[in-house]
């Protein structure tokens, strides 16, 4: 499967999970976890950052990948409001994913091998702080980031179903 197909599949799976949780969401969640809209806003911000990085490499300008803003609570809340909630976030992610999947095949091997200074932070911990090939950032998005948030959304859906069934705390 090509990188473009991996990305397309990862976005499709995430959007299907988002639709599932939207249908099942009761709004209940642990206080220290994101709700579905916050997860979607985070994914949209990560995708926007990735698109900006791809565009910078493709245009020959200085590229940098830094995902810290995608975990900022104020920024996430603002995006949820701007997008109009879950449906708007899903539409935004769909369009961003399509744009990224359309750009991927246009990148040359040289561009995909281009080292990009990258800082990846999750849960307040620095996971990566070094140059990474642009192609590896795209593969990481398709194989790690998006599937991880898909699982996170499905867990929210499972929690909502459990709550409605009267099982659990």
pLDDT at 62: 93
Q: Is the pLDDT of residue 166 over 90?
A: no
Q: The pTM is what?
A: 0.90
In a domain, 111, yes or no: yes
Length of the chain measured in residues: 169
110-118's contacts with Cβ under 8 Å and 24+ in sequence apart are 111/57, 111/58, 112/138, 114/57, 114/63, 116/53, 116/57, 116/63, 116/64, 116/65, 117/63, 117/64, 117/65, 118/64, 118/65, 118/66
Mean pLDDT of 95-119: 97
- Lowest-confidence region among 39-43, 77-81, 109-113, 153-157: 153-157
Residue percentage of the chain with pLDDT more than 90: 80
In a domain, 94, yes or no: yes
Q: 42-69 pLDDT, tens per residue?
A: 999 999 999 999 999 999 999 999 999 9
The encoded tokens of residue 136 equal: 């590896």
pLDDT at 28: 59
Enclosing domain of residue 155 = 3-164
Instruction: List the CATH number of the domain containing 88.
Output: 1.20.120.450
pLDDT at 165: 45
pLDDT at 95: 98
Number of domains in the chain: 1
In a domain, 48, yes or no: yes
In a domain, 169, yes or no: no
Q: 118-165 pLDDT, tens per residue?
A: 999 988 899 999 999 999 999 999 999 999 999 999 998 876 555 444
pLDDT at 24: 76
Mean pLDDT of 88-95: 98
Q: Is the pLDDT of residue 26 over 80?
A: no
Mean pLDDT of the chain: 90
């Amino acid at each position: 499967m090509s990188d473009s197909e991996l990305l397309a599949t990862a976005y499709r799976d995430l959007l299907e999970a988002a639709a599932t949780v939207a249908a099942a969401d009761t709004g209940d969640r642990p206080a220290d976890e994101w709700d579905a809209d916050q997860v979607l806003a985070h994914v949209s911000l990560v995708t926007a950052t990735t698109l900006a990085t791809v565009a910078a490499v493709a245009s020959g300008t200085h590229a940098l990948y830094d995902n810290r803003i995608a975990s900022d609570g104020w920024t996430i809340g603002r995006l949820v409001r701007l997008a109009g909630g879950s449906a708007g976030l899903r539409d935004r992610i769909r369009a961003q994913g399509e744009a990224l999947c359309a750009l991927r095949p246009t990148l040359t091997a040289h561009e995909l091998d281009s080292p990009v200074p990258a800082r990846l932070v999750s849960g307040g911990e620095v996971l990566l702080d070094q140059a990474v090939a642009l192609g590896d950032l795209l593969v990481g998005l398709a194989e790690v980031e998006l599937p991880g948030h898909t699982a996170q959304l499905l867990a929210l859906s499972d929690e909502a179903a459990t709550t409605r069934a009267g099982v659990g705390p």
